[in-house]
Structure 1
Amino acid sequence: MTKPPVPNNWDNNWQRIPVDPTDPDTAWILKLAVSGADGWALGPHGPLHDRGMALADITTGAVRHGLLHLLELGLIDIDTERLRQAGSFPLRRELPEEPTP
């Protein structure tokens, strides 16, 4: 897969890589990430046991543990060259959310 170039300034949009969440391999990765996030959320350090946790803390914890789960399993790699090339990153997804299965 050829990745689109990294934008060279803040005014340029990032070209997105198309991802099909219904593709069986992609769906499997998503399920594993959700399992990592759910494990944290339902575990002793998650919001189920810390009912005073702010929504932002819940989101951060779930995303962090879902991504760490995939990284630890070796299923995703960090493109450090691309990471270091970029001067800025979009903070929100531009695509509409896919329906929850």
Structure 2
Amino acid sequence: MTDKPPVPATMFDPWPRIPVDTTDTSPFDRILRLATFAADHWTLGPDGPFRQPATPATICRNQIREGLLHLLELGLIDIDTDRIDAAPGIPCQREQTPAP
């Protein structure tokens, strides 16, 4: 794992990014497939929008929730609460969105 850079000292300072290998054989790709499967399972299952109508925003949020929760429950990712608590603010948008 890459060492994490320190969080910014003040709100709105640039937030250092950690490089992520997103190639088809990377660990990221492996957990992405697991998270996508969990999201798809929710989407097509009895609690999903095909059986329980929902807005597009709610569908998106629940798909993200299912994928993230699945990875957390498997212990494949962790929440760095020390880092969250140390940050004066966390950016909500990405600086740039790489092509999938």
Note whether the superposition's TM-score is higher than 0.5.
yes
User: 2: CA distance between counterparts of 1:11 and 1:73?
Assistant: 33
The one-letter amino acid of 2:40's match is D
The one-letter amino acid of 2:96's match is L
Q: Which runs of 5+ in 2 are unaligned?
A: none
- Of residues 19, 34, 37, the one that matches 2:36 is 34
User: 1: CA distance between counterparts of 2:55 and 2:7?
Assistant: 34
Are positions 1:4 and 2:5 aligned together? yes
The one-letter amino acid of 1:49's match is R
2:75 aligns to what? 74
User: 1: CA distance between counterparts of 2:12 and 2:94?
Assistant: 16
Give percent identity, aligned residues only. 49
More off after superposition, 32-41 vs 17-26: 17-26
Q: Which runs of 5+ in 1 are unaligned?
A: none
TM superposition outliers: structure 1 runs of 4+ over 4 Å:
none
Q: What is the DSSP-based 3-state SS (H/G/I as helix, E as strand, rest coil) of the residue aligned with 2:37?
A: helix
Q: Calculate the TM-score normalised by the size of structure 1.
A: 0.88
Contact 1:21/1:98, CA 8 A, preserved across alignment: no
Are positions 1:16 and 2:11 aligned together? no
Q: What is the DSSP-based 3-state SS (H/G/I as helix, E as strand, rest coil) of the residue aligned with 1:56?
A: helix
The one-letter amino acid of 1:88's match is G
RMSD: 1.3
How far did 1:64 drift?
0.5
